């Protein structure tokens, strides 16, 4: 099949559908050539308009630097029922605490995570590395040269984030849940 401007939208749709990771513009251009340069965002808008007109249960969203198919929020309750068994593999409270620290303080060392949590976080960090939610970014300069941890694109996909700026900030959390309790310093 030849690539033309007329079939570029269908090609974009096929590539996004077939991609295991969010399809980036660079991957799109590498696949279709210069004919697709700077076209992917507008093609996604056209595809989403087609899906909306057709009453489709899915859409394409920008996430983690690329584009990926998602079901519309209206169908979440049905999908949750279908995937109830998968929920057994949820993240533990310790894993969520550690992920929050890595996401907000990135890059961060294990010692930093341990100090904030008040417990040894080595096992939790290993689990998060195994699940590809965090990665080793490099090593800190200085004594011992400890590893520096940061979140991954898999973390972004898992939590439905386009980037870390979408994480709630202190002011937003305080408005949502009230001010955090201050601990007395000793």
Among candidate residues 45, 76, 107, the one where a domain is terminated: 76
pLDDT surpassing 50 at residue 186: no
**pLDDT average, residue stretch 142-158:** 90
Backbone angles phi, psi at 150, to 5 degrees: -145, 165
pLDDT higher than threshold 50 for residue 40: yes
Q: How many residues appear in the chain? A: 186
End-of-domain residue from the set 76, 111, 127? 76
- State the CATH number of the domain containing residue 111: 1.10.10.10
List Cα–Cα distances, 186 to 21, 62, 173, in angstroms: 48, 46, 26
**What is the rounded average pLDDT for all residues in the chain?**
87
Residue 49: domain span: 8-76
> Rounded CA gap, 157 and 153, in Å?
6
Same domain, residue pair 173 and 97: yes
pLDDT band at 36 (very low <50, low <70, confident <90, very high): confident
Report whether pLDDT(184) > 60.
Answer: no
Q: 134-139 and 147-151 as β-strands: parallel, antiparallel, unpaired?
A: antiparallel
Q: What is the pLDDT of residue 135?
A: 95
Q: Please indicate, yes or no, whether residues 97 and 161 belong to a single structural domain of this protein.
A: yes
Domain final position from 76, 108, 131: 76
Check whether residue 106 and residue 171 sit in a common domain.
yes
| pLDDT tens profile 12-25 | 999 999 998 999 99
**Which two three-digit tokens encode residue 84?**
């109830």
Does one domain contain both 108 and 32?
Answer: no
pLDDT at 87 over 80: no
Number of domains in the chain: 2
- What is the DSSP secondary-structure string of 144-167? T--EEEEE-HHHHHHHT-SSGGGS
Query: Residue 185 — pLDDT band, cuts 50, 70, 90?
Result: very low
- In the prediction, which pLDDT does 149 show? 96
- Better pLDDT: 7 or 90: 7
């Amino acid at each position: 099949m030849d690539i033309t401007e007329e079939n570029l939208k269908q090609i974009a749709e096929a590539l996004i559908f077939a991609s295991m990771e969010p399809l980036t513009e660079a991957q799109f251009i590498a696949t279709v050539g210069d004919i697709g340069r700077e076209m992917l965002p507008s093609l996604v808008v056209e595809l989403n308009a087609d899906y909306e007109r057709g009453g489709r249960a899915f859409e394409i969203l920008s996430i983690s630097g690329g584009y990926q198919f998602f079901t519309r929020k209206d169908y979440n309750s049905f999908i949750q029922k279908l995937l109830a068994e998968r929920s057994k593999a949820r993240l533990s409270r310790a894993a969520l605490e550690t992920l929050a620290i890595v996401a907000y303080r990135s890059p961060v060392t294990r010692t930093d995570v341990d100090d904030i949590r008040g417990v040894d976080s080595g096992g939790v960090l290993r689990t998060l590395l195994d699940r590809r939610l965090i990665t080793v970014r490099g090593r800190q300069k200085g004594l011992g040269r400890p590893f520096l941890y940061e979140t991954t694109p898999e973390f972004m996909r898992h939590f439905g984030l386009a980037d870390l700026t979408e994480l709630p900030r202190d002011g937003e959390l305080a408005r949502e849940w009230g001010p955090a309790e201050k601990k007395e310093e000793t």
